Copies of this chain bind each other. A is one copy, B any other.
Amino acid sequence: MPPRPEMPPRPEQSHKAQLDMFVRKLTAHSPLPLSDQEALLALPYQYRQLAPNTTILREGDRPQVCPILLSGFAYRYKLAADGGRQIVGLRIPGDPLDFQSLYLRTVDHNLQTLTQADVALVPLAELEQLADTRRSIARAILVDILVEASIGREWQLNIGRRHALPRLAHFLCELAYRVQFSEPQADAQLDVPLTQEQLADILGLTPVHVNRTLKTLEQEGAVTRSGRRLWASDINALARLCDFSPLYLHRDNAA
């Protein structure tokens, strides 16, 4: 969903605020003392602006840097032998993109930007050293990994055991919750940055069927569409359609 009109190129100076969000999100799941927060902010990094659909990691890679998603969206995917694509994870602004490579040698999936995105590339060695010397940073990394794995399990349930309508509703609900958590000031109306084809690859459906399911979601009043845009406009309606329960997002963990 390519370059958004309301997203003009940002001033190069504002990385600080974006990095702040990353640290804030980590802390929200696993509290970090101020000194550790500062250590994270003091990490060296390279700043990159990436176009939509830019590949960041490929299956088999052995990365030397850990990308952090400062703005925009990204997704993980895998391919089946017949060319079928399954999106196995979605990352939102402020999310780290590859803590895994701190501990595993080779990457087991592909990672791509969904929208235009800003990324900070932190040398893995630097991050590793920080994790090795500061207990609560290591813990925060682990918690992020565990929460993402929990979301993956919920997606398994979603794909394996829910019909198209609740399946789609569940995903939109999750996305709305996650964005809401990380940007509490944002609209309640979530602007969904995915094409119907991408939604299909998340849900294990075809684009055609996603289209038809979106239409009925719109008739139910759960979703609004205009042009190519999609909004999750009534989260309660969505939640009702799929019996959404946010336990698996582990928001309670910090408390």
- A253 an interface residue at 8 Å Cβ cutoff? yes
B106 touching A250, Cβ below 8 Å: yes
User: Interface of chain A, helix or strand or loop or mixed?
Assistant: helix
Q: Is the Cβ of B76 less than 8 Å from the Cβ of A108?
A: no
Cβ contact of A146, chosen from B60, B145, B255, cutoff 8 A: B145
Whether A159 contacts B156 in the complex (CB less than 8 A), given A145-B145, A252-B106, comes out as yes
From known contacts A103-B146, A104-B143, infer whether A153 and B247 are also in contact, taking CB-CB under 8 Å: no
Q: How far is the CB of A27 from chain B (nearest CB, A)?
A: 15
A253 / chain B contacts, CB cutoff of 8 Å:
104-106
When distances are taken between beta carbons in the complex, the residues of chain B under 8 Å from A162 are 80, 84
Interface assignment of A157: CB less than 8 Å from any CB of chain B: yes
A36-44, A112-120, A132-140, A176-184 - the one binding chain B: A132-140
Name the distance in Å between A81's Cβ and chain B's nearest Cβ: 4
| Contact of A30 with B by CB under 8 A | yes
Q: Are B86 and A157 in contact (CB under 8 A)?
A: yes
A106 and B247 in contact (CB under 8 A), knowing A80-B161, A85-B161, A160-B203? Answer: yes
Q: Which residues of A (161-219) have their CB < 8 Å from a CB of B?
A: 161-162, 166, 203-204
